[in-house]
Structure 1
């Protein structure tokens, strides 16, 4: 038997761990990688990505766990999509159904007694945005981190089990098949410093636009000076892993998918422009091309991924 001598110290630790366990969230859909179809209680996709090698965090480690061949998530150009967000597949329509009576509503009160209704956050102040990104490649094995372009953002997400994302006027996918992913970084107040990535197969419907997306670059912190915000196509934020990062904020200063990093609410309608800083456009396309070339030498199976500086970092 383990005796707890100092209950006042022990209880805060238990409560802290309970809140942090609620912090693990992901989207769930039939076309996702790592669906774990035989396990109704799967939470693999909801596990955070922190301190990993590139092979471990990229594609959430699920390149070898694709969806069924006929599964693809439809993105209606100039429309919207609903995605299911949960800590566990059991609390989705792929399992036993939504835990919340009204999955489109944020919890009220925010933090309730059963620890679920808050979705992940100790308060509304911690909900800092999540994003959908698309890569115009039909083969997951060929997708590089620099291929993803963020096309939709919800600033007060994740707060609902059923979240609506608006889709811009995306062009059709090659072979009617693209690769998409959901990304999220919670604010540092919500627990440890982590990122989340859930890739899935997608395709664009009702497409009339034929203009390709611009080349993305990583955003920068422009909270205090909007002139520093990156304009045009932006990459997802890769942070807090051992390699492959494109964000280098220190611990407890999490980058987030909101206006503080140049992501506006809803469909990102500037993604047909090459990403560039508002005050300096020199060299951005060249930097992206160099990063893509560096990653392509070692990303795929059997490669050695101990490189630094893929995206201008160390």
Structure 2
């Protein structure tokens, strides 16, 4: 039986290191680094930072732990789908038949307009942000945005960044548990499905983490004449200068890694903090379904300049604090 004591013990075990990921039927690492059910796992929510390619690509070891046969994230063409954004499987549909779920990803109860100005008795983080769940924001409007990308291949070991195209952006997320993603006119997947990836680059309130988590997915309700997205390009920093944004299909953001970064930036953004390349208009990502992914707008024109470190880095500017990895064996 699930009791209040169960919730309290889980919350205590999670501590302050909990992060967030999208929990869907098609996710890899549903039960952490295990092929057998585990009732409380946060492995899928571990971010990547300063990793080699093998460490960040498809969230490292998670690529070896696919969902059960026949389980997919269903992506309805020209529709929408919902994912549960939470810090641990215990607080999602995955475990306890969903009985520990609340409106929030930490299994707790918070005010509807939860913020540092309305914590409802919860404690803020050590740097003055929402402490639980770890949303890397002070209020909903500060949340950086999360995305899903899709590759029209069913072999997770045979995909390139160009083939992973961001097709939907949920603005001001993660925030609540249930998050809706709008879908453009995607075609059907090949036999065996597609590979989708959930992405998030937080906007401060903690270390500069990157999230890159795989899901096995299928597109439902597709039109027979629907076209596949064209190859994606790395997004470009364009805050306050929309004419410099990359148009058309965009790749997921890879930054702050030891190798394989497709975005490299430094210096300050408009609010005075170090630049944070999130899934929002600072990087040219419009909210909602990405309808411009089916054609190459640069077939006959020049590409915008790529994002590179500024020539002049402000004194004392550090793009991220020192990251201390999770202890991965606590709750699998």
For this structure pair, what is the TM-score category when the shorter chain's length is used for normalisation?
Answer: 0.7 to 0.9
Is the 1:107–1:117 Cα contact (8 Å) retained in structure 2?
no
Is the 1:107–1:160 Cα contact (8 Å) retained in structure 2?
no
Q: 1:91 to 1:282 in 2, by over 3 A?
A: closer
Residue 90 of structure 2 aligns to a residue in which SS?
helix
Structure 1 residue runs of 5 or longer lacking an equivalent are 1-16, 285-314
Aligned equivalent of 1:297: none
Q: Distance in 2 between matches of 1:212 and 1:236?
A: 17
Q: 1:262 to 1:282 in 2, by over 3 A?
A: closer
Confirm or deny that 1:133 pairs with 2:152.
no
Q: Distance in 2 between matches of 1:119 and 1:180?
A: 24
Which region of structure 1 is more displaced relative to structure 2, 151-160 or 28-37?
Answer: 28-37
**Residue 155 of structure 1, CA deviation:** 1.3
Aligned equivalent of 1:291: none
Structure 2 residue runs of 5 or longer lacking an equivalent are 1-13, 124-130, 268-273, 307-332
Is the 1:153–1:165 Cα contact (8 Å) retained in structure 2?
yes
Is the 2:236–2:305 Cα contact (8 Å) retained in structure 1?
no
**Residue 174 of structure 1, CA deviation:** 1.2
Residue 27 of structure 1 aligns to a residue in which SS?
strand
Aligned equivalent of 1:171: 187
Aligned equivalent of 2:122: 114
Is the 1:233–1:270 Cα contact (8 Å) retained in structure 2?
yes
Residue 253 of structure 1 aligns to a residue in which SS?
coil
Question: What does the per-residue CA deviation read over 1:30-75, in whole Å, with 9 as the maximum and x for residues that have no partner?
Answer: 3211112422110001111001111111110122111112111111
**Residue 276 of structure 1, CA deviation:** 4.3
**Residue 275 of structure 1, CA deviation:** 6.0
Confirm or deny that 1:33 pairs with 2:28.
yes
Aligned equivalent of 2:74: 74
**Residue 147 of structure 1, CA deviation:** 1.3
Q: Which structure has more helix as a fraction of its residues?
A: 1
Aligned equivalent of 2:45: 46
**Residue 237 of structure 1, CA deviation:** 0.4
**Residue 152 of structure 1, CA deviation:** 0.3
Give the alignment's TM-score, normalised by structure 2.
0.73
Confirm or deny that 1:226 pairs with 2:221.
no
Confirm or deny that 1:201 pairs with 2:216.
yes
Kindly tell me the number of residue pairs found equivalent between the two proteins.
265
Aligned equivalent of 1:287: none
Is the 2:246–2:304 Cα contact (8 Å) retained in structure 1?
no
Residue 293 of structure 2 aligns to a residue in which SS?
coil
**Residue 122 of structure 1, CA deviation:** 4.3
Aligned equivalent of 1:157: 173
Residue 256 of structure 1 aligns to a residue in which SS?
coil
Q: CA RMSD in A?
A: 2.8
Question: How does 1:214-253 map onto structure 2 within 5 Å?
Answer: 214-250=230-266, 252-253=274-275
Q: Distance in 2 between matches of 1:283 and 1:253?
A: 17
Residue 231 of structure 1 aligns to a residue in which SS?
coil
Is the 1:230–1:277 Cα contact (8 Å) retained in structure 2?
no
Q: Distance in 1 between matches of 2:276 and 2:219?
A: 32
Aligned equivalent of 2:87: 87
Aligned equivalent of 1:213: 229
Question: What does the per-residue CA deviation read over 1:259-285, in whole Å, with 9 as the maximum and x for residues that have no partner?
Answer: 12111110000000226499724999x
Q: Distance in 1 between matches of 2:93 and 2:300?
A: 43
Residue 191 of structure 2 aligns to a residue in which SS?
helix
Residue 251 of structure 2 aligns to a residue in which SS?
coil
Q: Distance in 1 between matches of 2:165 and 2:99?
A: 30
Residue 186 of structure 1 aligns to a residue in which SS?
coil
Aligned equivalent of 1:56: 55
Q: 1:273 to 1:160 in 2, by over 3 A?
A: same
Aligned equivalent of 1:3: none
